[in-house]
Amino acid sequence: MATKSKNNKSRRIDVRVPLELFNEIDQFKKIDQSYSNFVLAALKHEIERQKKNLR
């Protein structure tokens, strides 16, 4: 188990999420999807969207 906030594969970040936004996650994440996987998918999508806007 990783004990540091950074290793060769990933970096840990802690983020406070407003409750109204957090409560909406359950409406859209899949039943078998973890919160972390949902957030990572959303982050990847947002990065791709931002990249397209730069072109």
Query: Which pLDDT value is given to residue 50?
Result: 95
Answer yes or no: is 41 within a domain.
yes
Answer yes or no: is 10 within a domain.
no
Each residue's pLDDT tens digit, 1-55: 556 677 888 888 899 999 999 999 989 999 999 999 999 999 999 999 999 998 8
Query: Which pLDDT value is given to residue 40?
Result: 94
Structurally, the chain folds into a number of domains equal to: 1
* pTM score of the predicted model: 0.73
What Rg, from alpha-carbon coordinates, does the chain have? Answer: 14
Answer yes or no: is 3 within a domain.
no
Parent domain of 49: 19-54
24, two tokens: 């909406």
Query: Which pLDDT value is given to residue 1?
Result: 52
